[in-house]
């Protein structure tokens, strides 16, 4: 039923947004699940600087993948960009992506953050946060520590349907196997302070409000709250402490050219533009993300990229574990 719904939604989007398909070589069609102002600003800048008209179509990552599959024999899109590595596996398995030319960029990219047909655009670390005023010397070092019975009723998290939690637990399955990952998830659920609700910002706010002692969240939300127009969010960002696990899970936002897309040269130019030092600085300063380039500084609230250990992740196969991860969450009662 879910697959059918996605197909129907893809068809609806197709009808609503592509009644007149652009064919001119001075255009580019971008399918994006990155619904951030910084992306829109950068696409507008690319259009202004190059004269290449950018046609932007937004949606959720899995929905856009379904749309790309429907259009595979006659692609409309030139570029696909999204917020999580979970969609990389189906994109590769369905031969939706074209080869990339990255020779000029490889020196500033870590080897596991690009492949023959994709490249990381930004990176996000999944960390633990706490109230550093009320709890100045936490004993927690890893997510596994939060399964200890001493932390009963102290942990806050968003729901299991969050792509961030799906990627986190899929990574644990990838590293340690299903049963070990299941034990971890069960231990976390046992110590939840409440039924998972809200987004990552809400978890941080709830820690400061005293509804729990620890929360799992992405780093870019911390930096985004620091820059928020909401004074309360700024206060929360300044009051929370950050714990980077000894093996910190890092997910990626990635970008790729579409196989047989109508404007491949323009697609290559856009990818090179978004991976330029100027654009990467915008992702760091405007959206609080770790840039794909290793040379760009990040928010002062966050650890520098080279200051913490990263868990091993096979990004190309992470999405293969999606069904197993959903099953795991169901088995442990992570709502």
Calpha distance 137→214 (Å, rounded): 13
DSSP 72: T
Calpha distance 115→105 (Å, rounded): 12
Instruction: Report the chain's mean pLDDT, rounded to a whole number.
Output: 91
257-302, pLDDT tens digit by residue?
Answer: 999 999 999 999 999 999 999 999 999 999 999 999 988 999 899 9
Give 306's contacts (C-beta < 8 A, 6+ positions apart).
Answer: 294
Is residue 122 scored above 90 in pLDDT?
A: yes
Question: What is the mean pLDDT of the segment spanning 10-28?
Answer: 51
Backbone angles phi, psi at 38, to 5 degrees: -60, -35
Is residue 21 scored above 70 in pLDDT?
A: no
Calpha distance 238→226 (Å, rounded): 7
22: region left, alpha or beta (phi > 0 left; psi from -120 to 50 alpha): beta
End-to-end CA distance of the chain: 20
304-313, pLDDT tens digit by residue?
Answer: 999 999 999 9
Q: Which pLDDT band holds residue 106 (cuts at 50, 70, 90)?
A: confident
Topology alike, domains 2-122+252-298 and 124-249+320-332: yes
Residue 317 neighbours by CB distance under 10 Å: 15
What is the pLDDT, as a whole number, of residue 104? Answer: 78
Asked if residue 145 lies in contact with residue 139, where contact means CB atoms within 8 angstroms, the answer is yes
What is the pLDDT, as a whole number, of residue 12? Answer: 38
So where are the chain's domains?
Answer: 2-122+252-298, 124-249+320-332
CATH code, 2-122+252-298: 3.40.190.10
317-327, pLDDT tens digit by residue?
Answer: 999 999 999 99
Please, how many CA atoms are within 13 Å of residue 66, restricted to the half-sphere of its CB? 18
251: region left, alpha or beta (phi > 0 left; psi from -120 to 50 alpha): beta
CATH code, 124-249+320-332: 3.40.190.10
Asked if residue 25 lies in contact with residue 263, where contact means CB atoms within 8 angstroms, the answer is yes
């Amino acid at each position: 039923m879910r697959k059918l719904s996605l197909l129907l939604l893809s068809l609806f989007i197709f009808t609503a947004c592509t009644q007149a398909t652009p064919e001119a070589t001075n255009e580019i069609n971008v399918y994006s699940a990155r619904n951030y102002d910084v992306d829109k600003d950068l696409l507008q800048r690319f259009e202004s600087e190059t004269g290449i008209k950018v046609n932007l179509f937004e949606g959720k990552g899995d929905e856009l993948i379904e749309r790309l599959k429907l259009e595979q024999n006659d692609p409309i899109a030139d570029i696909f960009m999204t917020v999580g590595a979970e969609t990389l596996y189906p994109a590769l398995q369905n031969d939706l992506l074209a080869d990339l030319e990255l020779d000029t960029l490889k020196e500033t990219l870590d080897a596991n953050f690009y492949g023959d047909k994709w490249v990381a655009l930004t990176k996000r670390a999944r960390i633990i946060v706490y109230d550093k005023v009320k709890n100045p010397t936490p004993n927690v070092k890893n997510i596994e520590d939060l399964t200890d019975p001493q932390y009963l009723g102290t942990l806050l998290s968003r729901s299991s349907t969050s792509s961030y939690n799906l990627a986190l637990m899929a990574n644990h399955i990838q590293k340690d196997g299903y049963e070990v990952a299941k034990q971890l998830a069960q231990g976390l659920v046992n110590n939840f302070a409440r039924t998972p609700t809200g987004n990552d910002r809400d978890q941080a706010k709830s820690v400061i409000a005293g509804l729990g002692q620890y929360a799992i969240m992405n780093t870019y939300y911390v930096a985004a709250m620091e820059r928020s127009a909401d004074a309360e969010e700024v206060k929360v960002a300044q009051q929370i402490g950050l714990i980077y696990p000894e093996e910190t899970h890092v997910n990626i936002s990635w970008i790729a050219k579409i196989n047989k897309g109508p404007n491949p040269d323009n697609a290559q130019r856009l990818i090179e533009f978004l991976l330029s030092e100027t654009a990467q600085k915008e992702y760091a300063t405007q959206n609080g993300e770790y840039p794909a380039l290793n040379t760009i500084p990040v928010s002062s609230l966050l650890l520098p990229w080279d200051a913490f250990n990263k868990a091993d992740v096979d990004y190309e196969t992470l999405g293969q574990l999606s069904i197993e991860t959903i099953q795991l969450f169901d088995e442990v009662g992570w709502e």
